[in-house]
């Protein structure tokens, strides 16, 4: 594995002093520069006023778009800053002009919020939803996708790194097929950007939704939407305001020509500056090194958990990321989470309500989800596993 400066990562993550954090797929520990940026802007707002602080930091805010574009290999004009990944995904999805009979192709590991939107669109517009089967590795089958596609397919929408199971779906292979068939492709990258290299040109997605709080290590209440320039004119946002559109005449408005047509005027400026700082911080590391480290740590965790009597790891996929899910015979996921919390070890749980198709297909109970980041170390993994092993069943 490439060399990695763990000392720097932990020194710049103040939370490492207080907790063993394995809930990075929920919200990562912010690095000190991000924390400083948010606090400094809030102080400026308190001292000189919110509007005035935003004007003073205008150029810094504009650079956030540039940083995100660099991170995902897009263009600044293709980026919209929004309050979270669900808002980003919904803004893209509900802007698509669905008609009765249109089809949506998705994957069995689709996230609940996305699938609920599919169901609502089925009720509103009469679209149909088809979940493409998994392949032998547990990831979305590109071969099956090609078999079930027809000219009625309006949208392909998958989750890149699903909420449970460790899986990283083959997004680039899906994107290649979407381009070949001229089908809109919406990628939920909520848990992949910041964790692994994401290149929208290489992937071939038309829309991509991201949060700041997860592997990007930004503040909560931040996120962004990428919309490929070539499809912008096909999409009309579900709502507009005086930022996303201009009131030209009494009875006429014009939408912005860039992705900011998906934004609205009032927003958390301190959060946006924090997000921009998190993006810059991510760029200051070699994403290939941090991705390799994440995979190494997750593999070590899976191996250690697999050695504990009664513990089963439930991860799948040809490529696996930093999310590790497991159960222990005789102990519920919530009980394990609480015991770990009492030891200042943070994990979360994954239930059927977040990824119903996958969990029902695999007949899974509630899972413990332990998600690593590059600032975790092997001693923390060993401590987590020691506590899990000691849990009486």
Work out how many domains the chain is built from and give that number: 2
Give the domain extent around 377.
Answer: 6-30+286-390
Helix (H) or strand (E) holding 209: strand 207-211
pLDDT band at 1 (very low <50, low <70, confident <90, very high): very low
CA Rg, the chain, in Å? Answer: 21
pLDDT digits (tens, 9 = 90+) for 69-91: 999 999 999 999 999 999 999 99
**What is the model's pTM?**
0.96
Q: Examine the domain organization and report whether 20 and 129 are in the same domain.
A: no
* CATH number of the domain to which 245 belongs: 3.40.640.10
Q: Examine the domain organization and report whether 86 and 189 are in the same domain.
A: yes
Structure-token match 């899976």, residue found? 302
Mean per-residue pLDDT, 328-341:
98
- Cα distance between residue 253 and residue 235, in whole Å: 16
Q: Examine the domain organization and report whether 386 and 298 are in the same domain.
A: yes
Q: Examine the domain organization and report whether 133 and 254 are in the same domain.
A: yes
CB 284 within 8 A of CB 332: no
Mean per-residue pLDDT, 167-172:
98
pLDDT band at 393 (very low <50, low <70, confident <90, very high): confident
Per-residue model confidence (pLDDT) at position 3: 79
Cβ-based neighbours of 246, under 8 Å, separated by 6 or more: 253, 254, 256
- Cα distance between residue 124 and residue 117, in whole Å: 10
Q: Does 326 fall in a domain?
A: yes
Task: Select from 283, 301, 319 the last residue of a domain.
Answer: 283
- Cα distance between residue 315 and residue 94, in whole Å: 32
Task: Select from 263, 283, 303 the last residue of a domain.
Answer: 283
Q: Which of 157, 320, 287, 111 is nearest to 216 (CA)?
A: 287
* CATH number of the domain to which 350 belongs: 3.90.1150.10
Cα angle, residue 29 at apex, residues 168 and 107 outer, rounded to 5°: 20
Q: Examine the domain organization and report whether 46 and 160 are in the same domain.
A: yes
Q: Does 13 fall in a domain?
A: yes
- Cα distance between residue 126 and residue 35, in whole Å: 46
Q: Does 278 fall in a domain?
A: yes
Q: Examine the domain organization and report whether 13 and 62 are in the same domain.
A: no
């Amino acid at each position: 594995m490439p060399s990695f400066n763990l000392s720097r990562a932990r020194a710049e993550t103040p939370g490492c002093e207080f907790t063993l954090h394995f809930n990075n797929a929920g919200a990562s520990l912010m690095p000190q520069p991000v924390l400083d940026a948010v606090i400094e802007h809030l102080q400026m707002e308190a001292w000189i006023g919110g509007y005035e602080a935003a004007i003073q930091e205008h150029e810094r805010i504009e650079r956030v778009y540039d940083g995100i574009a660099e991170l995902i290999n897009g263009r600044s004009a293709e980026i919209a800053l929004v309050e979270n990944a669900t808002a980003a995904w919904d803004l893209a999805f509900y802007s698509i002009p669905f008609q009765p009979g249109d089809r949506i192709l998705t994957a069995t590991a689709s996230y609940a919020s996305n699938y609920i939107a599919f169901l609502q669109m089925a009720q509103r517009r009469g679209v149909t939803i088809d979940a493409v089967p998994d392949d032998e590795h547990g990831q979305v089958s590109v071969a099956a996708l090609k078999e079930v596609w027809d000219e009625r397919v309006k949208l392909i929408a998958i989750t890149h790194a699903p909420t449970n199971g460790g899986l990283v779906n083959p997004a680039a292979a899906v994107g290649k097929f979407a381009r070949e068939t001229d089908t809109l492709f919406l990628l939920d990258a909520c848990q992949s950007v910041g964790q692994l290299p994401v290149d929208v040109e290489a992937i071939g997605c038309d829309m991509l939704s991201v949060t700041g709080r997860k592997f990007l290590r930004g503040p909560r209440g931040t996120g962004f939407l990428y919309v490929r320039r070539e499809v912008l004119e096909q999409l009309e946002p579900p709502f507009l305001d005086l930022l996303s559109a201009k009131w030209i005449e009494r009875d006429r408005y014009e939408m912005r020509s860039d992705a900011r047509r998906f934004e609205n005027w009032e927003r958390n400026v301190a959060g946006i500056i924090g997000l921009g700082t998190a993006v810059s911080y991510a760029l200051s590391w070699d994403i290939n090194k941090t991705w390799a480290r994440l995979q190494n740590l997750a593999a070590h965790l899976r191996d250690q958990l697999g050695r504990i009597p009664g513990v089963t790891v439930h991860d799948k996929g040809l490529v696996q990321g930093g999310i590790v899910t497991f159960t222990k015979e005789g102990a519920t996921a919530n009980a394990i989470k609480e015991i770990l919390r009492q030891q200042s070890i943070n994990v979360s749980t994954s239930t059927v309500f977040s990824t119903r198709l996958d969990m029902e297909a695999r007949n899974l109970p509630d899972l413990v989800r332990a998600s690593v980041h590059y600032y975790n170390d092997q001693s923390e993994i060993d401590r987590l596993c020691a506590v899990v092993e000691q849990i009486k069943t």
